[in-house]
Amino acid sequence: MVDSSTVGLKFAPHSADVEAGRLRLFAKATGETRPEYLDDAAARAAGHPALPAPPTYAACLYLDIADPFAWLRELGVDIARILHATQAFRYIAPIYAGDRLTFSSRVANVFQKQGGAKTFIVKLTEVDNQHGVRVAEARATLVVRGG
Amino acid sequence: MIALPTYETVKVGDALPELALPPLTRATLALYAGASGDHNPIHIDIDFARAAGMPDVFAHGMLSMAWLGRLLTNWTPQRNLREFSARFTAMTLVGERIVCTGRVAEKLERDGERLVRVTVATANEAGDIKVSGEALVALA
């Protein structure tokens, strides 16, 4: 069972490419039809150097590894029992197609509610681009049902 | 062409133009799983969902947050977004017709930048809130 002794635990950083094709698929999946999110020329006309990654996309690419749920198993958590409770982003610099992002995550907090019936895990992820610029910070809270 | 909001023109209580989504389909969940990289089977495999004690698959919370992101960037260019958070309070189910709404809650200055705090939410046709959140947006 995961408990507060895991606070501060760091996971191995990993990197992922922001790909234009994936951004277009993301736009399709989320119903986005504005040309600046789909078409390179329209993105440039809107003042972007390439297709922009939409506001929640940074949280997607940190799943882009062979085994994105390994960190939960490392904590002894069954993914069938987790729910996403909250997600927060702080935006520092824009993210564009062609960027390569590095994700560095750690357990920021673990706490329990309802007399231990629910455990909350807060994971903080810092996102840096290929120039070493911090582009975003993402904070996810997951609930483990039944502890 | 709707004029972009500015710090001077927006007022606390102003509503953002709402974003109405079509009824949620399983196909959208499959597309979102592939596009987002969140392959947790609880959102796309009904057998897995049932074995986990759920009656059916349900939407990724981050799909709803992406819709709220569209609501915000329809209103103001994405480059103005400083912070964006969401709380996933209820599951969004297949077939539900979700509407995203937002409202200006506060005007403030921080570190020399003029910001507005916008509260946002998704709800089904019955008005049940599924996801609520807020954003800090810099306005010139």
Q: What is the pLDDT of residue B2?
A: 63
Closest-CA distance of chain A to residue B67, Å: 6
Tell me what percent of the residues of chain B surpass a pLDDT of 90.
93
Q: What is the pLDDT of residue A115?
A: 86
Q: How far is CA A97 from the centre of its chain?
A: 16
Nearest CB to A32; choose among B39, B61, B70: B70
A86 contacts B79? CB cut-off 8 A: no
Instruction: Strand A134-145: give its sheet, edge to edge.
Output: A14-17, A100-113, A118-128, A134-145, A82-91, B81-88, B129-138, B113-123, B99-110, B19-20
Q: What is the mean pLDDT of each run of 10 residues along chain A (147 residues)?
A: 85 93 97 97 96 94 78 85 93 97 95 89 96 97 84
More confident residue, B127 or A78: B127
Q: Among A33, A57, A64, A86, pick the best mutation site for testing chain B contact (most B Cβ within 10 A).
A: A86
For residues B24 and A60, what is the distance between their CA atoms, to the nearest angstrom? 20
For residues B135 and B119, what is the distance between their CA atoms, to the nearest angstrom? 7
B88 contacts A84? CB cut-off 8 A: yes
Q: Among B58, B70, B100, pick the best mutation site for testing chain A contact (most A Cβ within 10 A).
A: B70
Q: What is the pLDDT of residue A142?
A: 93
A83 contacts B67? CB cut-off 8 A: no
pLDDT digits (tens, 9 = 90+) for B50-84: 998 999 999 999 999 999 999 999 999 999 999 99
Q: Are A83 and B58 in contact (CB under 8 A)?
A: no
Q: What average pLDDT does this structure show over B96-125?
A: 97
For residues B13 and B139, what is the distance between their CA atoms, to the nearest angstrom? 16
For residues A121 and A19, what is the distance between their CA atoms, to the nearest angstrom? 30
Q: What is the pLDDT of residue A145?
A: 83
B1 pLDDT above the threshold of 50: no
B104 pLDDT above the threshold of 80: yes
Q: What is the pLDDT of residue A83?
A: 87
ipTM: 0.95
User: Does this model's pTM top 0.80?
Assistant: yes
B90 pLDDT above the threshold of 80: yes
Q: What is the pLDDT of residue A114?
A: 86
Q: What is the pLDDT of residue A68?
A: 78
Does residue A52 sit at the B interface (CB-CB below 8 Å)? yes
Confidence of residue B11 (pLDDT cuts 50, 70, 90): very high
Q: Which residue has the tokens 């200006």?
A: B104
